């Protein structure tokens, strides 16, 4: 099913507002899922609207929460999402983070008590477009076994980085510290496809290629112990350091009302001009030699594919499976009853 970006936006906002999200939350979520879909990041695109509605129906998110900004310290701003979506909390705190980074050279934005489901690259990319170097990370629910373990303990725990470039789009990467994002396993299940070996374990701790068994078991960290300890670092920085939960202390919202899906997000912003003064432009240009060295070897920079997809989507729209489109239309045209 082909949709223009405007059609994808309208469908997203209609679904979210129809199920009780405030206009501010609906717009923040729509910006994220439409951007992900436009960059052909299917696991974080329009398909995520289903989970946004499901979480609301199960009482796992306050769809009308107003984030509170707290000036924590000279280089630290905190935003209490108050049980709302992390996307609106980030947008509420972003300008405060930018101002602090420019004033002090380095600043941190801590988001607390937030329902998080989204890709991180739009957040760090939006900061790089303001001339800042940015790093973001967040834990998720306990879906991943530690290297050598058999049971889920840590989240998929994504980390994202963005570097401003003098010309063109920022250099950006965003990846889960698990072998693959959990959404990719769910997309395989929905499509009736097996997953590759090495992605996951079943509930008994045995390797599996069955996506349903994987979702009931545990994903694996990428790179063995290296991905495992990187995931632990993310748990610590975006958990105890900012006064929030570890991944295994949360769980998805469910019909029993016992779910605790809220957790934290840690964002670091650095201002090259504070570090370098009048040399900032020359040093940013120096970094271009590294990027050029990658490209001339025939290799791909990590953000190239997404940026090419973005251009196509702006011209041609986005494609989603017909079954997903039907589900979304059903959500849009339903009675919109609150949980």
Q: Which residues are catalytic?
A: 43-44, 184
CA 207/CA 202 separation, integer angstroms: 6
User: Three-state SS for 94?
Assistant: helix
Distance (Å) of CA 64 to CA 94, 125, 297? 19, 26, 50
133 beta partners: 270
Q: How far is CA 195 from the centre of its chain?
A: 22
**Which residues are within 8 A (CB) of 131 and not within 5 positions of it... i.e. 6 or more apart?**
164, 271, 272, 273
**Which residues are within 8 A (CB) of 303 and not within 5 positions of it... i.e. 6 or more apart?**
121, 169, 170, 171, 172, 173
Query: What would the two tokens of residue 120 be?
Result: 């991180």
CA 195/CA 215 separation, integer angstroms: 11
């Amino acid at each position: 099913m082909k949709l223009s970006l405007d059609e994808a936006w309208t469908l997203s906002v209609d679904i979210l507002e129809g199920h009780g999200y405030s206009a501010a939350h609906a717009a923040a979520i729509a910006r994220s899922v439409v951007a992900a879909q436009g960059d052909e990041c299917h696991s974080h695109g329009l398909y995520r609207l289903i989970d946004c509605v499901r979480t609301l129906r199960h009482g796992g998110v306050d769809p009308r929460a107003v984030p509170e900004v707290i000036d924590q310290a000279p280089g630290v701003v905190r935003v209490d999402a108050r049980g709302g979506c992390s996307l609106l909390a980030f947008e509420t705190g972003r300008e405060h983070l930018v101002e602090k980074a420019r004033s002090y050279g380095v600043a941190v934005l801590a988001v607390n008590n937030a329902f998080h489901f989204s890709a991180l690259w739009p957040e760090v990319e939006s900061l790089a477009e303001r001339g800042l170097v940015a790093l973001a990370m967040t834990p998720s629910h306990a879906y991943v076994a530690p290297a050598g373990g058999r049971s889920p303990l840590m989240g998929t725990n994504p980390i994202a980085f963005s570097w401003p470039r003098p010309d063109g789009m920022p250099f950006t990467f965003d990846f889960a510290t698990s072998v693959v994002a959990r959404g990719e396993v769910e997309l395989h299940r929905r499509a009736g496809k097996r997953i590759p070996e090495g992605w996951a374990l079943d509930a008994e701790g045995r390797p599996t290629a069955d996506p349903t068994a994987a979702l009931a078991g545990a994903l694996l960290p990428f790179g063995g112990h290296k991905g495992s300890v990187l995931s632990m670092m993310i748990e610590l920085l975006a958990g105890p350091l900012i006064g929030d939960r570890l991944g295994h202390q949360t769980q998805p919202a469910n019909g029993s009302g016992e779910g605790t899906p809220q957790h934290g997000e840690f964002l670091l912003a650095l201002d090259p001009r504070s570090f370098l003064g009048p040399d900032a432009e020359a040093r940013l240009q120096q970094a271009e030699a590294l990027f050029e060295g990658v490209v001339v070897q025939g290799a791909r920079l990590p953000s190239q594919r997404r940026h090419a997809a973005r251009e196509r989507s702006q011209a041609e729209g986005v494609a989603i499976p017909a079954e997903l489109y039907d589900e979304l239309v059903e959500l849009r045209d339903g009675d919109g009853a609150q949980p």
